[in-house]
């Protein structure tokens, strides 16, 4: 059923990670990505991994959710790994068969890349697990607000995102209803050739689009009735506030970045 | 033979998740052919879920549904054919219109049944007449019609399939009183003319009392009772306890009786009440009929 689709993967909770200011969380993610890319040794990557796994532990998100977030990128991981193994031909050869040459450098690079991507995905899914979509759009709006100077409609874009998120469940419900209604009139959605099936979608899409427009119009009217006039001078119900824990988190992250650089040095010396 | 029969019908939403909820709980029901059944129940009592089982839109979590003696879900390939026997008009059916013209939209159901153009045409005209649509609007786009007209087109779209059982989920909601009465009267006419089974889900006790021959009361996912209007409205107190009411006129007569006036307690339509009062006052000597 359509209803089973979950949008966003927010996991409500009260952990330290959940309570961080969403703006800070986005900055931390950017810092984390930088951390991963300046690391050029397994030691450096190890420090990054410790950082993200530590954050995961603190967040209290079930461990299996982390594995779940990795599932969709499995093909990408395998592809990256294989490419690196098969096409890096420098370094000590450890296995050779006809035209396939596997070198030590190839294997280590492949492993390195895979770990880096895994860490990236774990980090960014931690952000979506611990931050509600609304908080995220709020934070994005605030972070990008300096762009207003060059006339980027930041508030409007954020409002569009919020509305889109708000209406996804509504539209799913509506689609479900229309599908049931057309099935009751004998619409056959499950059998037939591709073209027939595509045609069978017309009775679903036309009413859906019509009702989306109707909803949009009603929403616009309702917003106007409540004197909505864009972001200028608008106050918020939920103010974003940075507190001690946010600065602490920033400090910890800074230490870890330094740690990555340091770990790379150690690797170099060894 | 009963046209709809259920045995231990149970439906659970979101089974296996923390949000699971039993919407229909162990329902045994037999509906005879030719009845006009009113379905009442509080919001969330499982009415809509129940009726969606009757044409196989929902698959029971457990239990069986028989339509016209044939078990639904036994043979999945027969499902679509059985679905044509039970026409279901959803709440706000006008939101399912999609064709370029009214005519084509009403034709959608009969065409899906694989009828010839000639038969389809006959059925469209018949259904349009039933719901009081003039043939002039056949070539109009359904989107330029008024709300009430759209509703009629949508109902005609299901009627044109000439199902053995016609189920309507609040066909009159959101319409003005005049449109409301008109649509309900047309549905009643359809019932009398076709002698088909009709099920009407409604929150209005007056509408139910006026039109139906049997009433199905749902309460907390179970069938509270399935009986004639007289017997159902006789249980006024129990109905009120579950957040339902009885028709206003029944309440008036119950109060009269409580006040010591010797009146019948089986009054649930205004017409009958009027005749009864007139005869009690001695102004009308003909035999009082419901």
Taking CA–CA distances from B162, the nearest residue in chain A reads A185
The dihedral over CA atoms of B158, B126, B150, B199, expressed in degrees to the nearest 10, equals -40
Chain centre to alpha carbon of residue A57: 19
Closest CA to A16 of A47, A70, A54, A63: A54
> Which stretch of A128-137, A221-230, B26-35, B176-185 has the lowest confidence by average pLDDT?
A128-137
**Residue B162, CB-side half-sphere exposure with 13 Å CA sphere:** 15
- Residue A165: strand, helix, or coil: helix
pTM (predicted TM-score): 0.74
Res A220: pLDDT: 93
Give the Cα separation of A200 and A270 in Å (integer): 66
State what percent of residues in chain A have pLDDT above 90: 29
User: What pairs with residue B87 in β-bridges?
Assistant: B166
Predicted confidence (pLDDT) per residue in B48-106, tens digit: 899 999 988 889 999 999 998 888 888 888 888 888 999 999 999 988 899 999 999 99
Phi, psi of B200 (to 5 degrees): -125, 115
Residue A67, C-beta contacts closer than 8 angstroms, at least 6 positions apart? none
Asked if B80's CB is within 8 angstroms of A185's CB, the reply is no
Helix, strand, coil abundance in chain A, percent, nearest 5: 75, 5, 25
Give the Cα separation of A173 and A92 in Å (integer): 59
Query: Which residues on A lie below 8 Å from B108 (Cβ)?
Result: 182, 185-187, 203
User: Does pLDDT of B123 surpass 60?
Assistant: yes
* DSSP secondary structure code for residue A190 in this structure: S
Confidence class for position A7, pLDDT limits 50, 70, 90 = very low
User: Does pLDDT of A4 surpass 50?
Assistant: no
- Residue B124: strand, helix, or coil: helix
Judge whether B290 and B272 are in contact, CB under 8 Å.
yes
Phi, psi of B42 (to 5 degrees): -65, 160
Average pLDDT, chain B: 88
What value, to the nearest 5°, has the Cα angle with vertex B171 and ends B119 and B248? 140
Q: Which two tokens stand for residue B27?
A: 């329902």
Average pLDDT, integer, range A153-179: 87
- Residue B221: strand, helix, or coil: coil
Res B287: pLDDT: 60
- CB of A209 within 8 Å of any CB in chain B? no
Closest CA to B286 of B275, B270, B271, B273: B275
Residue B161, C-beta contacts closer than 8 angstroms, at least 6 positions apart? A185, A186, B84, B87, B109, B110, B113, B123
The region that residue B97 occupies, defined by phi over 0 for left and psi between -120 and 50 for alpha, beta otherwise, is beta
Domain ranges of chain A: 9-131+240-269, 146-225
Give the Cα separation of B90 and B155 in Å (integer): 9
Asked if A203's CB is within 8 angstroms of B108's CB, the reply is yes
Predicted confidence (pLDDT) per residue in A64-99, tens digit: 878 888 888 899 999 999 998 888 877 777 777 777
Average pLDDT, integer, range A105-132: 89
Q: Which two tokens stand for residue A64?
A: 């299996």
Give the Cα separation of B20 and B12 in Å (integer): 7
Which helix (DSSP H) or strand (DSSP E) does residue B11 occupy?
Answer: strand B2-13
Taking CA–CA distances from A206, the nearest residue in chain B reads B98
Average pLDDT, integer, range A242-249: 89
Give the Cα separation of B215 and B251 in Å (integer): 18
Question: In this structure, how many other beta carbons lie within 10 angstroms of the beta carbon of residue B5?
Answer: 19
* DSSP secondary structure code for residue B261 in this structure: -
Q: Which residue has the tokens 């005749």?
A: B275
How many residues appear in chain B?
290
The dihedral over CA atoms of B248, B249, B250, B253, expressed in degrees to the nearest 10, equals 130
- CB of A215 within 8 Å of any CB in chain B? no
Residue B281, C-beta contacts closer than 8 angstroms, at least 6 positions apart? none
Of the partner residues B80, B96, B143, the one whose CB lies closest to the CB of residue A182:
B96
Judge whether A134 and A165 are in contact, CB under 8 Å.
yes
Give the Cα separation of A227 and B28 in Å (integer): 54
User: Looking at this predicted complex, what is its ipTM?
Assistant: 0.84
Q: Which residue has the tokens 């679903």?
A: A204
Q: Where are the alpha helices (DSSP H) in B176-234?
A: 177-194, 205-211, 229-233
Scan residues 5-24 of B and list those with Cβ closer than 8 Å to A.
Answer: 14
Q: Which of A173, A184, A205, A213 to probe by mutation at the B interface, max B CB count within 10 Å?
A: A184
Taking CA–CA distances from B84, the nearest residue in chain A reads A186
How many residues appear in chain A?
270
Average pLDDT, chain A: 86
Give the Cα separation of B188 and B277 in Å (integer): 26
Give the Cα separation of B221 and B10 in Å (integer): 9
Q: At what angle do helices A63-70 and A104-130 cross, to 10 degrees?
A: 120
Give the Cα separation of A54 and A31 in Å (integer): 16
Of the partner residues A177, A185, A211, the one whose CB lies closest to the CB of residue B112:
A185
User: Does pLDDT of A1 surpass 50?
Assistant: no
Closest CA to B67 of B199, B189, B221: B199
**Residue B277, CB-side half-sphere exposure with 13 Å CA sphere:** 11
Res A8: pLDDT: 56
- Residue A75: strand, helix, or coil: helix
- CB of A125 within 8 Å of any CB in chain B? no
């Amino acid at each position: 059923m359509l209803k089973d689709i979950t949008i966003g993967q927010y996991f409500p909770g009260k952990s330290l990670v959940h309570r961080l200011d969403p703006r800070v969380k986005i900055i931390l993610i950017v810092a984390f990505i930088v951390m991963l890319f300046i690391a050029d040794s397994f030691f450096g990557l190890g420090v990054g991994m410790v950082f993200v796994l530590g954050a995961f532990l603190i967040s209290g998100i079930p461990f299996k959710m982390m594995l779940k977030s990795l599932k969709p990128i499995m093909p990408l991981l395998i592809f990256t790994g294989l490419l690196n193994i098969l096409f890096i031909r420098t370094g000590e050869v450890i296995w050779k068969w006809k035209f396939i040459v596997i070198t030590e450098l190839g294997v280590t690079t492949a492993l390195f890349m895979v770990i880096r991507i895994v860490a990236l995905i774990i980090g960014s899914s931690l952000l979506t697990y611990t931050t509600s979509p609304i908080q995220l759009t709020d934070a994005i709006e605030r972070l990008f607000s300096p762009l207003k100077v060059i006339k980027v409609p930041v508030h409007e874009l954020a409002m569009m995102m919020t509305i889109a998120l708000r209406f996804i469940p509504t539209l799913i419900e509506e689609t479900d209803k229309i599908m049931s209604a057309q099935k009751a009139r004998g619409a056959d959605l499950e059998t037939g050739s591709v073209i027939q099936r595509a045609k069978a979608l017309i009775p679903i899409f036309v009413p859906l689009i019509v009702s989306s427009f109707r909803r949009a119009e009603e929403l616009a009217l309702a917003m106007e009735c409540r004197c909505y006039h864009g972001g200028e001078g608008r106050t918020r119900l939920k103010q974003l506030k940075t507190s001690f824990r946010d600065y602490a988190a920033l400090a910890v992250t800074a230490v870890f970045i330094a740690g990555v650089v340091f770990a790379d040095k150690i690797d170099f010396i060894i | 033979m009963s046209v709809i029969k259920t045995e231990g019908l149970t439906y659970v939403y979101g089974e296996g998740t923390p949000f699971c909820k039993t919407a229909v709980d162990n329902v045994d029901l037999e509906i005879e052919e030719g009845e006009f059944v009113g379905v009442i129940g509080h919001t969330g009592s499982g009415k809509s879920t129940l009726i969606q089982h009757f044409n196989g839109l929902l698959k029971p979590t457990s239990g069986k549904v028989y339509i016209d003696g044939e078990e639904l879900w036994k043979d999945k390939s027969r499902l679509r054919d059985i679905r044509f026997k039970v026409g279901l008009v959803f709440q706000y059916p006008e939101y399912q219109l999609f064709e370029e013209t009214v005519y084509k939209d009403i034709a959608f159901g009969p065409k899906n049944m694989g009828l010839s153009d000639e038969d389809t045409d006959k059925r469209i005209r018949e259904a349009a007449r039933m719901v009081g649509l003039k043939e002039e609007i056949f070539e109009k786009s359904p989107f330029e019609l008024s709300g009430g007209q759209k509703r009629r087109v949508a109902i005609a779209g299901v009627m044109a399939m000439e199902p053995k059982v016609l189920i309507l989920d609040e066909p009159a909601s959101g319409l003005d009183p005049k449109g409301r009465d008109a649509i309900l009267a047309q549905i009643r006419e359809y019932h009398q003319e076709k002698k088909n089974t009709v099920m009407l889900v409604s929150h209005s006790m007056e509408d139910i009392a006026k039109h139906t021959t049997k009433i199905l009361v749902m309460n907390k996912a179970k069938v509270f009772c399935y009986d004639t209007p007289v017997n159902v409205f006789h249980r006024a107190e129990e109905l009120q306890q579950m957040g339902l009411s009885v028709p206003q006129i029944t309440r008036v007569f119950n109060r009269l009786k409580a006040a010591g006036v010797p009146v019948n307690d089986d009054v649930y339509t205004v017409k009958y009440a009027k005749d009864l009062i007139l005869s009690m006052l001695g102004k009308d000597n003909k035999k009082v009929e419901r």
